[in-house]
A and B are shown apart, each in its own frame.
Chain A
């Protein structure tokens, strides 16, 4: 608890909270736009005295006797748009001497061809729009300035998903920009009911957040709760969706993620249609889906693309894999060290044979190899991709083979650890895979201390914990308990699409019907 408080203090500096009311340090409150563009420029320069990337460009329209000041942030604006929509129309108009004199309103109405043009005299607003990549046009003699929508910056292209591969699914994944991501969703859900709420988080980062859901389907209490939590976030900034996830989640001290972070467009679409809520954070290609249950992490979009019998089988494989990846090393340890009577005789003789003369007890052996595995996984993520391959070969093959030949570990442990690793990659969601380690190691410990009894105690503890987790009014295990046939249709098995006529009851959706 103390640690957490200290951590909080790091994020929210108390001195800064007072400044926060003024928004920016150098900004005077209620500063209005001046008649003189030079004064405005001076003021902006004073505000941005340390920022070198602000562009000031003065423009004189001689025939109209007008002086203009164009301000923008380098790199955030689209230079092409500025030329085409601001400079060219103004210069074009200025060639004719005897036409009507240009005024602020005519410029706004007739000349600027950009899509979004707005008038404002409030410097706070102007500065904010600068950050969004808009261009500000000050005109000599007017106490208002024009905000021209010229934002446009370098974006990553839409690529295929990096962390969640599917065979038959769409190849599109989200990118870092909220705008692009919204279009990816909007292109697939063509209804005015699609709600896209705009929120902002972070005093310094001003990170854009969008809540996306279908109004009239998604439970409005959940929407209100999430909105309130996001609005209550008081921090200087967030870097990605993971921080937002942690700031709004209900249970801080659990290893299980309470929102599902996915970069797959189809997964988000599916979840929104089911009546869930998507939280999009600018700067991260991972969209958060909430409320979520245990089963969601073991579902893959592929399940919905394949026939129900085959995907049900794959689901079963995944559930078994989940059990294996968390419990297999512990089970091996408990069975060999405590209950060798439960292993068939030929197998126990083989295991014994492979262990004769080894220096370490089984529990140390299991720990050594599991630790090596974790180091390998971590190393192959950190390293550049071409070297990562080498690491997995060196680690997997060479170390494993050498460790057995050197007589440090038994060959069986290599099989167990390899199986643990393989089964952990069967789980479709990476954040959930991470939580498995936090279960696997304590289970090995209790199995080493108490045998099978320890494993059962461990799982009992785990189940109690899982059953007590609740976020946004939805319990983590609510698919299984209380019993409901409807919610079981999409858990261990997946019934044919035509039989899934209702949305999941557990989400308390406002409109439960999906098919007639």
Chain B
């Protein structure tokens, strides 16, 4: 009995010391982390960024340039951390953010390795940069054109990174995109991250292009697209696509082409198409997409490969720019509208395919994936020179559009 109780006490002491002696290994107060909301990767730009006139302080050059262990700076890494105001009870009605003041802090470092720069940030920020809340990565066009694997390597490797982080490409400086302080949100990164959620309203933006997608495409060697983001001093716009061939960006794709690229990729969540009225070409009919389903299959005839794109869509008539109301309940009229829309969409799809084949040469429609899954034997034969085959690939487009709601005002 006595021995047993001693064992119990010893066990208890052991358990308690296990709890107490581990020193709360990963324990980190929530406010002691620097939540990195966005990363921007640019080419090294001329420094200083800061106020050069003010001689009483060092220019930012001393901060942003640092001694590298190896090599010379090839990228300008920017991280965005939120500036959180001190906790205090705000009087009722005095809510709102900092007003004109920017609520985010963008730190830039020139370097070669992102990880090295990341650790160098610790010389400037009290908090450990923490990437689990990373919302967006913005890449500068020139960086993207030189290949995105080297700058993204650490991001794809690190356990703190999340698949859901969205990746954008900016024709201007990525830093400028992050610097924007949106009118109705506090942080450019959060704002930008939520913009693609509007993809059910317009198909001019990509919405499934997150870090996980990029990683998958890079690993499977497929071409891919990333959304384009442009910015002014206080605004951000997300529309259009940056086209990547393997890991290098090859060019831009316009907004209308974006719609039909998404159409082929079966990624349309919503949006509109505008057609000319079958009765009067000066009248435009706007159709709202409520459901689009696309199936792509290869047709193989000897050595000749053709892609068969079959698309079914349900649309609503949203607007007709006319002076008098047409009878939209007239079935013949509806049928003609459907025909017109079908013609328009299949022409546009053909056009988009031609444009990408000629100008960009990147298989962003994932025809190679289709080949791999529907004709694996053929794919083995053509996979080595797929890009040259892709450039001359024929496509057969069948679009079937049904008008569902017509909308009547009386």
Q: Which of B22-30, B44-52, B116-124, B328-336 lines the interface with chain A? A: B22-30
Which of A336, A349, A355, A449 is in CB contact (< 8 Å) with B20? A449
Q: Does B1 contact A (CB under 8 A)?
A: yes
* Chain A interface residues (CB < 8 Å from chain B): 1-2, 336-338, 340-341, 345-346, 348-349, 351-358, 361-363, 404-405, 407, 410, 445-446, 448-451
Nearest-neighbour CB distance to chain B for A319, whole angstroms, equals 28
| CB <8 Å contact, B29 and A337 | yes
| Contacts known (A349-B35, A355-B30, A448-B27); A341 close to B22, Cβ less than 8 A | no
0/1 interface trace, chain B 76-103, chain A, CB 8 Å (1 if under): 0000001011111100000000000000
| Chain A interface main SS type | helix
Query: Using Cβ atoms and an 8 Å threshold, which residues of chain A touch B37?
Result: 345
Which residue among B28, B29, B88 has the maximum number of chain A CB atoms within 10 Å of its CB?
A: B29
In the complex, the answer to whether B26 meets A354 with C-beta atoms within 8 Å is no
**Chain A residues with CB below 8 A from B2, complex form:** 1
Nearest CB to that of B189 among chain A residues? A345
Whole-angstrom distance between the Cβ of B76 and the nearest chain A Cβ? 25
Which residue from B20, B82, B160 sits with its C-beta under 8 Å from A341? B160
Q: Is the Cβ of B30 less than 8 Å from the Cβ of A451?
A: no
Is the C-beta of B135 less than 8 angstroms from some C-beta in chain A?
yes
Once the chains are docked, how many angstroms separate the CA of A78 from the CA of B66?
100
Contact A451–B35 (Cβ < 8 Å): no
Contact residue among B27, B82, B87, B160 (Cβ-Cβ distance under 8 Å from A357): B87
Partner among B19, B28, B162 whose Cβ is within 8 Å of the Cβ of A449: B19
CB of B17, distance to nearest CB on chain A (Å): 11
CB-based contact B87/A449 at 8 Å: no
Query: Given A336-B30, A348-B35, are A407 and B82 neighbors across the interface (CB < 8 Å)?
Result: no
Tell me which residues across on chain B come within 8 A of A349, comparing CB atoms: 35, 82, 84
Contacts of A446 in B (CB 8 A): 19
Question: Which residues of A lie under 8 Å from residue B1 when comparing CB positions?
Answer: 1
- B133 lies within 8 A of chain A by Cβ: yes
Is B74 an interface residue, CB under 8 A from the partner? no
In the complex formed, the residue of B with least CB distance to A335 is B30
- Chain A, residue nearest B85 (CB): A353
Tell me how far the C-beta of B4 lies from the nearest C-beta in chain A, rounded to whole angstroms: 8
Does A356 lie within 8 Å of B84, measured CB to CB? yes
- Residue on B with the closest CB to A361? B29
Q: Does B130 reach chain A (CB closer than 8 Å)?
A: yes
Instruction: Judge whether A451 and B87 touch: CB under 8 Å.
Output: no
B33 within 8 A of partner (CB): yes
**Is the beta-carbon distance between A340 and B27 smaller than 8 angstroms?**
no
Shortest Cβ-Cβ A-B pairs, 9 listed:
A341-B132, A336-B30, A1-B5, A355-B31, A353-B84, A449-B19, A345-B133, A352-B31, A356-B31
CB distance from A366 to the nearest CB of B (A): 12
Answer whether A407 and B26 are a contact pair too, CB < 8 Å, given A341-B132, A341-B133. Answer: no
30 A–B contacts, CB within 8 A, in A order:
A1-B4, A2-B5, A337-B24, A337-B27, A337-B29, A338-B26, A340-B30, A348-B133, A349-B35, A352-B35, A355-B30, A355-B31, A355-B87, A356-B31, A356-B85, A357-B86, A357-B87, A361-B29, A362-B29, A362-B30, A363-B27, A404-B89, A445-B19, A448-B27, A449-B19, A449-B20, A449-B22, A449-B24, A450-B22, A451-B26
- The answer to whether A340 touches B19, judged by C-beta atoms less than 8 angstroms apart, is no
| Contact status A352-B84, CB under 8 Å | yes
